[in-house]
Amino acid sequence: MKQFQNKVAVITGAASGFGKAFADIGASLGMKLVLADIQQDALDATVAELKAKGAAVIGLRTDVSKSEQIQALADAAMAAYGQVNLLFNNAGVGAGGLVWENSEADWEWVLGVNLRSVIHGVRIFTPLMLAAAAKDPAYEGHIVNTASMAGLLNAPAMGVYNVSKNAVVALSETLYHDLSLMTEQVYCSVLCPYFVATGFNDSRRNRPADLANAAPPTRSQLVAQANSDKAVTSAKVSAEQIAQMTFDAIRTRGFYIYSHPQAMAPVQQRFEAIIEQRNPGDPYAGKPEVRAKLISTLRG
Task: Dihedral sign for Cα 33, 183, 120, 95, please.
Answer: negative
Residue 114 to residue 129: CA distance in whole angstroms: 22
Buried b (16+ CB within 10 A) or exposed e, 203-222: beebbeeebebeeeebebbe
Distance between alpha carbon 3 and the CA centroid of its chain, in Å? Answer: 24
Q: Please, is 237 exposed, middle or buried when counting C-beta atoms within 10 Å of its C-beta (0-12, 13-18, 19+)?
A: middle
Please state, in angstroms and rounded to a whole number, the distance separating the CA atoms of residues 296 and 300. 6
Neighbours of 170 (CB within 10 A): 14
Helix (H) or strand (E) holding 290: helix 288-299
Pairwise CA distance, residues 112 & 91, whole Å: 10
Active site residue 161: yes
Q: Which residues, 6+ apart, have CB-to-CB distance to 234 below 8 Å?
A: 195
Nearest CA to 86 out of 178, 26, 9 is that of 9
Catalytic residue among 161, 187, 194, 258: 161
Distance CA 17, CA 47 (A): 15
**Catalytic residue list:** 161
